[in-house]
Structure 1
Amino acid sequence: MKKEMITLLNAFYYNAALGADAIGAILSSAKDEAFQLTLYRQLQYYRQQESRLTEQMHGLYEVPTEPGSMIRLWMDLMIRCKTLYGLTDERLAKMMMQGSQMGIIQLVRALNHSGKVPERLHAQGEKILEHEQAFINELKPFL
């Protein structure tokens, strides 16, 4: 069961780390103050998640697996390509929504394949999914 727990916690951590990286890459390009605030709150959430998940992993005598440099490079290139034609808040919101959707898919797959893990860990994943969906809903007005 420990292996399944570590795998699931790593999936949660991966989602938070990539989300924080993506917001960090675009936050300074956002123009609307309300949009900036929305992004900043989500960035704080991701950083809190990273910290909490690191503590949970340490409790299992493990260290979270960081997203690889290739995935971070790919994400950075995708952001740059999608913003070549202008950095509008609408375009940035759409990109963040797409990224959150990809994160939701990854998290649902991780939960569905998690095997036997404590219910509290499954519930933690469900809360993360709810928060990701709420973030998408917060971004809709900026489209």
Structure 2
Amino acid sequence: MDKNVEFLEYIYQNTQMGLDTISQLLDIAEDESFKQLLEDQYKEYKVIFDAAEEKLKQHNTEGKDISPYKKVSAYIMINVKTLTDKTAAHIAEMLIQGSIMGVIDIIKNLKKYTDVKEDISLLGRQLLKTEESNVEQCKRFL
């Protein structure tokens, strides 16, 4: 498979997971200012997701959805972890942990895909900045 398409698939699926997770957390979170943060983060992921989807179309392919197993596993894990604690601090901690894993993952992929087109590399770096920013934004709710 073309390295450009591979990296775009990664960005597409990564942001899709972010969108799914935040959608679920918006239904769980109770703090209004934290919900606003989640909505802002959702919009950031959506911009990157849409751009990855458009670039995939330019390469005559469609984004592959996250596997149903990963989706269900994430859904269950979020429900279990928030069953007894729906506070903004607890959810922020969960998001920080997820975003830090995302930072590590995107850095590895940026190094793996150094030879992709510049616009695709820029999209990957935008995702990295978004993940790093998400960590910083969530810290105030701890």
TM-score, normalised to structure 1's length? 0.92
Q: 1 CA distance for matches of 2:47 and 2:126?
A: 14
Partner of 2:29: 30
Report matched runs for 1:72-111 at 5 Å: 72-111=71-110
User: How many pairs align?
Assistant: 142
Report matched runs for 1:1-143 at 5 Å: 3-143=2-142
Q: 2 CA distance for matches of 1:51 and 1:110?
A: 19
Q: 1 CA distance for matches of 2:126 and 2:51?
A: 14
Q: 2 CA distance for matches of 1:86 and 1:135?
A: 21
Residue 141 of structure 2 aligns to which amino acid in structure 1? Answer: F
Determine if contact 2:48/2:127 at 8 Å carries over to the other structure. no
Determine if contact 1:111/1:125 at 8 Å carries over to the other structure. yes
Moved more, 15-24 or 76-85: 76-85
Determine if contact 1:89/1:142 at 8 Å carries over to the other structure. yes
Determine if contact 2:41/2:134 at 8 Å carries over to the other structure. yes
Q: 2 CA distance for matches of 1:113 and 1:35?
A: 35
Give the 4+ runs in structure 1 shifted more than 3 A.
none
Deviation at 1:125, TM superposition (A): 1.2
Determine if contact 1:4/1:115 at 8 Å carries over to the other structure. no
Q: Which runs of 5+ in 1 are unaligned?
A: none
Determine if contact 1:93/1:142 at 8 Å carries over to the other structure. yes
Determine if contact 2:30/2:86 at 8 Å carries over to the other structure. no
Determine if contact 2:31/2:87 at 8 Å carries over to the other structure. no
* Cα distance per residue 1:70-100 (max 9 Å; x no partner): 0011111111221122211111111111111
RMSD over aligned Cα, in angstroms? 1.4
Residue 116 of structure 1 aligns to which amino acid in structure 2? Answer: D
